[in-house]
Amino acid sequence: MKVFFLYLLIIVGDSYSAVKIPIGFTLRPITCEEAFYNKVKFVKNENHKQYEPLTYATYKNYHVFGHYCKDLNNNYYMGYEEQLNYDLGHDK
């Protein structure tokens, strides 16, 4: 099993925090973007006002305003190259 970490930047009161979520996969690698969409929920802003978003992302009732991923070596992880190599049958 391979592991990388999804970091969600969430709003907490008047500040923000980063939540570190481990993501594992066995066969076909997943991208950081796929992990993000699997972990957050998009909510329609019913009380939309001018200059406010129509929808926003949430994680455990916190607003998410950004994300990034890192591997076990603390390098940024996107996953597209790994996924493409797997799909094309290339071994690294």
| pTM across the whole model | 0.85
Task: Tell me the two tokens of residue 80.
Answer: 């597209």
Collapsing DSSP to helix, strand or coil, 60 comes out as coil
What are the tens digits of pLDDT across the range 54-86? 888 999 999 999 999 999 999 999 999 999 998
What are the tens digits of pLDDT across the range 2-34? 999 999 999 999 999 999 999 999 888 999 999
Total structural domains within the chain: 1
Whole domain around residue 44: which residue ranges? 2-88
Q: What's the chain's Rg over C-alpha atoms?
A: 16
